[in-house]
Amino acid sequence: MKLAGHVAIVTGTSPNIGGGIAEGLAAEGARVVCADALADNAAQCAEWIRGRGGEAVAVTADVTDEAQVEAMVARARDAYGGVDVLVNNAGILGGLSVLEMPLERWNRQIAVNLTGTFLCTKHVARLMVEQGRRGSIIVIVSTAGHQGQAGNIAYSTSKSGLLNFTRAAAMDLARHGIRVNSLTPTATDAEEGIERAVAWGRPRAERRGGMLDFRKMAPLGTLPSPRHYARAAVFLASDDAEMITGFDLRVDAGAVAKYWPWIPPP
């Protein structure tokens, strides 16, 4: 139990990545605050963790609303006494090209992906400093933040911004012993998220095929699942990573390391 006695807030606890990370942290002994703008995503994630013997509470919160973020942090403090780990995972995926993107949609995606991470980090870090907790803050990025992705201007831009947000926040918080690192997922195998949704009592979703065969282009020949990100999040949250801050941990099956025109042999 690497996180026994720890309290973690995870934002964006859908059955996909956030739910997988929340479950992974709980499996290592963390008490988890599952926070989502959609009440069902927060409630069902917390319920699932409690049903398996863990401790969790649900908070409905929009990460772009500072008052709601403050209320989320206050709820964690009331329920469990404070916060040791924050996983900034809430995000809006997908988008449009720079030619098509309406300003309103750009503003919303930047607000959730970038400003939401700033607000959650600000208020969780303030509580950590007040309580003298040497906590760990994790920022969920994307390989689209490392590379220029076509047709996804606000997403690619916001995720790239988060890489340097992580480094700058790590410098602000280093003297308080609070570590800030990012974790980079990539195109994610859909199966685990579909199964988790079914386990939470939802109807089975159809697998949707994209235009690109991501699996074939991944150097490891397979795509990561939420549980792989969860293991990396446990590492960054735990004392095993006590000397690591301002770092980006890519869990991307080798995607970003690849020489771009190389297509791995089958």
Ligand X SMILES: NC(=O)c1ccc[n+]([C@@H]2O[C@H](COP(=O)([O-])OP(=O)(O)OC[C@H]3O[C@@H](n4cnc5c(N)ncnc54)[C@H](O)[C@@H]3O)[C@@H](O)[C@H]2O)c1
Q: Which residues sit at the interface with ligand X, rule CB under 6 A?
A: 11-12, 14, 16-18, 36-38, 41, 62-64, 89-93, 112, 116, 140, 142, 185-188
Q: Which is nearer to ligand X, 89 or 160 (CB)?
A: 89
Minimum CB separation of residue 132 from ligand X in Å reads 28
Minimum CB separation of residue 155 from ligand X in Å reads 7
The rounded distance, in Å, linking the Cα atoms of 170 and 261 is: 34
- What is the secondary structure of 77-125 as a DSSP string? HHHHSS-SEEEE---------TTT--HHHHHHHHIIIIIHHHHHHHHHH
Minimum CB separation of residue 66 from ligand X in Å reads 12
- Which among 214, 106, 212, 123 is positioned nearest to 161, based on CA atoms? 106
Active site residues: 155
Q: Which is nearer to ligand X, 16 or 238 (CB)?
A: 16
The rounded distance, in Å, linking the Cα atoms of 178 and 122 is: 12
Minimum CB separation of residue 89 from ligand X in Å reads 5
Minimum CB separation of residue 175 from ligand X in Å reads 28
Long-range (24+ apart) CB contacts under 8 A made by 195-203 are 196/15, 196/16, 196/19, 196/20, 196/23, 196/48, 196/226, 197/15, 199/15, 199/48, 200/15, 200/19, 200/44, 200/45, 200/47, 200/48, 201/44, 202/15, 202/44
Q: Are 48 and 26 in contact (CB under 8 A)?
A: no
**Which residues touch 139 (CB under 8 Å, ≥6 apart)?**
88, 117, 121, 162, 165, 166, 180, 181, 182, 183
Residue given tokens 């700033």 in the structure block: 118
3-state secondary structure of 143: helix
Q: Which is nearer to ligand X, 27 or 45 (CB)?
A: 45
Minimum CB separation of residue 261 from ligand X in Å reads 22
